[in-house]
Amino acid sequence: MKPVYKRFILKLSGEALQGKNGSGINSDSLLSIVDEIIEVWKMDCEIGIVLGGGNIYRGSSRDKKIIDPVTADYIGMLATVMNGLALQNALEKNGLETRVQSAFDMKQFCEMYIRRRAMRHLEKKRIVIFVGGTGNPYFTTDTAAALKAIEIGAEVILKATKVDGIYSSDPVLNPSAKRYNVLSYLEVLQKRLKIMDGSAISLCMDNNIPIVVFNLFEKGNLKKVVLGKGKKTIVK
């Protein structure tokens, strides 16, 4: 079967890598994600990945007496680089060619982000892992995912989560929470559904990039979503 989406951004939170550890990088979780990515790479998809860093450092949980918010965001950006290098290694050990591109200069570890170079890598079926967020404080990796999707001409952002779509409230805390199959960008903003920050949603709305929210931790789900199947919520 042919994929519905040929070129896409996969948005992974840092928490996706931590597994049951509560923090850091869990090998089993990392390998599980790699298996999912391999399945869609085999379908000739062009894959960009934007990583968060919350498993290593989360700016919102900083000690405000010691660390100011700008410095906290810089630390968080460095955390995404660590995650990107770990994911790169895991993918390449499975025979996939990758490139890590950073929003700021770290030439000892990865390439500087250059749009044309990133697009050329994708055309050559290399997986491009974007780290460092936007390179600026006060912007989340959700916003970075939206920006990268626009810049590389991605057809969609696939937002990987621990649940099978967007709910009216936390389904873990509220079993009667309503799950949505389809939402408009404005509905997400008006209902204050915290699946991505408002800046990211607005960028996607202005550039007509759909967002598909799905459960990454159900085996084979990424492939189903790329084929237009599976349980998910589409924001468009």
Tell me the Ramachandran region of residue 196: left when phi exceeds 0, alpha when psi lies from -120 to 50, beta otherwise. beta
Residue 170 placed within a domain = yes
pLDDT tier for residue 79 given thresholds of 50, 70 and 90: very high
Residue 44 placed within a domain = yes
Residue 1 placed within a domain = no
Residue 156 placed within a domain = yes
Residue 213 placed within a domain = yes
Tens of pLDDT, residue by residue over 8-52, are 999 999 999 998 778 899 999 999 999 999 999 999 999 999 999
Q: How many domains does the chain divide into?
A: 1
Q: How would you class 206 by CB atoms within 10 Å of its CB: exposed for 0-12, middle for 13-18, buried for 19 or more? A: exposed
The CATH number given to whatever domain includes residue 13 is: 3.40.1160.10
Q: Which two tokens stand for residue 198?
A: 């408002």
Residue 2 placed within a domain = no
Domain that holds residue 17: 7-235
Tens of pLDDT, residue by residue over 179-230, are 999 999 999 999 999 899 999 999 999 999 999 999 998 999 999 999 999 9
Q: Tell me if 228 sits within 8 A of 220, measured CB to CB.
A: no
pTM of the predicted protein model: 0.95
